[in-house]
Structure 1
Amino acid sequence: MSGRPEAPGALVADVRVRRGRFTLDAALHVEPGTVVAVLGPNGAGKSTLLDVLAGLLVPDDGTVRTGDRVLTDVPAGGRATVVRPERRSVGLLGQDPLVFPHLTARENVAFAARARGGGNARSARTEADAWLARVDLGGLADRRPAALSGGQRQRVALARALAARPAALLLDEPFAQLDVRTAAALRDVVRQQVRATGTATVLVTHDAVDALTLADEVLVLVDGTLVERGRPVDVLADPAHPFTAALGGTNLLLGAVADDRSGPVLVTADGLRVPCPPGLVAGTPARLTFAPSAVEVHRAARADVPATGVARWETRVVDLEPGTTGVRVRTSGDVLVDVRPADLAVLDLRVGAPLVLTVPHTQQRLRPLP
């Protein structure tokens, strides 16, 4: 990082990277003072995208800019123009906290303040102390990285990245090494700084909590392609892709609508037939979403006939795992159900046991596939 901080501006990118059979094809637009979270499984291209934005990797074609400043311009078949990483005013905080080993925590952060033109050495150290206090390291300013834990080094690296006040900030799993309480506090620090400075920020994470509490928009990247985008609460509560459904703990069934004697059903590829709300004609490819907590579980021999507007289907237990409020039961068709501890003995849950599931249509959402 060199020179004074850039004026706030949107981070805009539209790039393609081809590596053998893998192709990253991604576009994003991050307004000043906002956070866009990029979610996706391992190997989806998330870190590749950050490397392109930071200038560490030249795309096969595409553009990257902050505000009116072009950072990368690679026309298809043309000559590339790429601003070097240290001159882009783009901060990158990776999963490995790369702090200077020969400098104390204070000197690490002060280096960023000086590099952006933040006054003399004394004022830079004063600013560094303020940042270390914000990340709860005020008493460790004189320690070198070797005397800090991995989580503490990550906090030093975060303080240094924020002290640099870049035009755009890239965060790659910045809270992964931190305990729950510290991570929550640092999300607040990042949010306040991003809003105050108008910094366009991209956050790569595997944690739904990061997306829900910090991001203004979510992009889901799978196999190099953006498969969905939108507000975090909308994407995670009503996912369109199995990865997002698993991350948000939401049931997602893909199939086609069919007519049944009792009403419409969604028929999945593996033959599961789940009653669904009306509204789509038979034969329409669709997705059905509902929360595990919305499902009621009944022993097959004791299940009553449901009231109108309640989906009912027979299934079997596939496996059981600890849940936040009891036990999470996976049933046929990969449908998840949350069962309270008090109901475990009554249901006699075991792998292979037959069950009946019910869920009100008002708790289901049926939408046609694009």
Structure 2
Amino acid sequence: MILRYLIEKEFKQLKRNSFLPRLILMFPVMMMLVMPWAATLEIEDLRIAIIDNDHSPSSQRLVHQIEASRYFQLTETPATYKEGMVAIEKDEADIILEIPRGFEKEQANGRPASTLVAVNAVNGTKGSLGSSYLSQILSPQSISTSVRYQFNPHLNYKVFMVPALMTMVLVMLCGFLPALNVVGEKEVGTIEQINVTPVSRFAFTLSKLIPYWLIGFLVLNLCIGLAWLIYGIVPVGSLFTIYLATLVFILVVSGLGLIISNHSATMQQAMFVMWFCMLIFILMSGLFTPISSMPTWAQCITYANPLRYFMEIMRMVYLKGSGIGDIMSQLCTLGAFATGLYCWAIYSYRKQQ
């Protein structure tokens, strides 16, 4: 009975704050509308300058083939390599391709025709991907190969990014809001009124977590609907699997938020500590950089990051159609995090009679 009144109090406090309900709805909408377009490693419309010294039908076919690619935009056709370098220095071109004299003759004689590629590598990722795209066009296709892409046949980066963004939305809302909850009551003095009541630490902590379970599921359903409506992305696996993993994961991040709130004296302190934790979790989760590409010491650190496991679950269910049996190891790890953090949240709440 006491727990019901405590939960009712939490929702009344949330309702009195006119900004928070709008934030809970607008934040996931903006994340799903903006981030999949901005947070992408695909690079298109690379500006290329081509120096054709051969002027043969073969070199012209190569130029047209590059122009037809969605990754390149032919901006200049300088007469010399020096003029091409001037275009790069003026930031008018990203890549220079020089086709030498005798290009068609070398191909006709069955010998590999060499070309020179110069890349503006100020942006290392852009330069590396641009040279890789160009190399695929320049490579001789002497062997007929059939390539089949599993789980993401169209190589759409949004299919890979959208499930991870749902994870980040849950972290930001269900982590930050609990972190500001208890410390907010400390600042206004209402926590002292609760401390003199017979409410147990267990009931008090649970009353703080249950509203964010409901908020988390509301936000998750909103994100799933937007992913289907805007991008046509639906989970290959079961929604029940996603909901089960979300139930455990929200307990993890909200428990962490309550721990930070219990140990903080002001809202400013709680926000700073929570932001620091979230920044590390997001960067070390594999959202933007694959974990396998990290140094060995960084890969070891990611095992202590609960965000890593939930992100793996979301991508496995969305892309591969994985079931509960396939995600059991990640789910058990999240369960261990949830148990430990929830016990810590109860213990760290200093109730004084």
TM-score normalised over the length of structure 2: 0.24
Higher strand share: 1
Which of the pair is proportionally richer in helix? 2
